[in-house]
Amino acid sequence: MERRKFVQGAGMAGILAAGVAPAVHAQQTIRWRMASSFPKSLDTLFGTAETFARIVTAASGGRLTVSAHPAGELVPAFGVLDAVQQGTVECCNTASYYFVGKDPVFGIDCAIPFGMNTRQMTAWFFHGNGLTLMREFYRQYNVVNFALGNTTAQMGGWYRKEINSVDDLKGLKFRTGTFAGRVLARLGVVPQNIPAGEIYQALEKGTIDAAEWVGPYDDLKLGFEKVAKNYYYPGWWEGSAQGALYINQKAWDALPADLKAIVESAAGYAHVDQIAKYDSKNPAALKELAARGAKILAFPKPVLEAAYKETQAVYAELNDTNPAWKKIYADYAKFRADQVLWFRFSEASFDNFMQSQKA
């Protein structure tokens, strides 16, 4: 007999006699607040937080209710990690590379220059050692982490002036994620880390010379083509960018096993949903940006080669100075090498042929 029907059909004395009163108390609602690093206007990134919250609440029958809050509503965009660590909020959705100032290892959980693509990153995280290694790392921050979406390969950003050589990067004030900034700084760029909601104004006022965010769908929403016409690709610092769900360790430990399973399942669904959303919406958005006058340009090969060389130098320095980085990156790099070899014969060769066909 279903518990609800049993409770409705029995008197309190019968319930107590049956010894099920504790089960009634177990149905108490648990309420979590989910702080996001993203504004509500971005239905891809903040929308993933809303999707996760909706599924958890519905699948649990309201036993675990999650409310999603955009950047700034509860805590600042870049304050979500501290808020979860301290228990100010129970969970958040964010991009882990925002916190490489605390430790470069955070970048591996999201995106690092010349890293893995979306399929490869998902494979490492779910069926390689990615989740295990990152869980071990996050324990020191009082956080339980899950993958929560991926933007797929990103564009290389919006520039007031064309980039024809490495020299054109020197002195460029460029809004980008902090890990990419490490490499770009070695090429003469002046990196700036600015939340999504503030980028347009900075670009319009000339506070910065260039900016990258994600890709066509989000960039169109933010209107960057109005203030900088040169739109470059690829975003070599983000061959994919995996989003993260952070849960406070104490809040996670307090959940019964069935609610933990619901959280894990909801995160998995939201992860795939975001990937599919970007792949479905970016093509039309790119066409629209071109129609509005955006010049879609490829980075010159010498620029990519210089960036790749400096990236390897940064990784070598981190291997020498950061034991956690050395351990996790070694596993990541080995997995990436095998994936790149496999994709050379499968995905890449098929994609190259299809892209050569006019149909």
Q: Is 6 helix (H, G, I), strand (E, B) or coil?
A: helix
Find residue 247's DSSP bridge partners.
91, 144
Whether the Cβ atoms of residue 259 and residue 59 lie closer than 8 Å to each other = no
Whole-number Å distance between alpha carbons of 88 and 246: 13
* 6 vs 168, higher pLDDT: 168
- Residue 302: its pLDDT value, please? 98
- Residue 13: its pLDDT value, please? 38
Whether the Cβ atoms of residue 211 and residue 228 lie closer than 8 Å to each other = yes
Sheet holding 157-159, edge to edge: 190-192, 173-175, 210-211, 157-159, 230-233, 295-298
Q: For the chain, give the percent of residues with pLDDT over 70.
A: 92
Q: pLDDT grade, residue 179 (50/70/90)?
A: confident
pLDDT tens digits, 32-87: 999 999 999 999 999 999 999 999 999 999 999 999 999 999 999 999 999 999 99
| Cα separation values, 210 from 163, 204, 282, 320, 340, Å | 11, 10, 21, 32, 31
* 149 vs 27, higher pLDDT: 149
Whole-number Å distance between alpha carbons of 1 and 5: 7
Domains in the chain: ranges and CATH: 28-152+240-280 (3.40.190.170), 157-239+284-323 (3.40.190.10)
Find residue 70's DSSP bridge partners.
none
Whether the Cβ atoms of residue 219 and residue 289 lie closer than 8 Å to each other = yes
Whole-number Å distance between alpha carbons of 182 and 184: 6
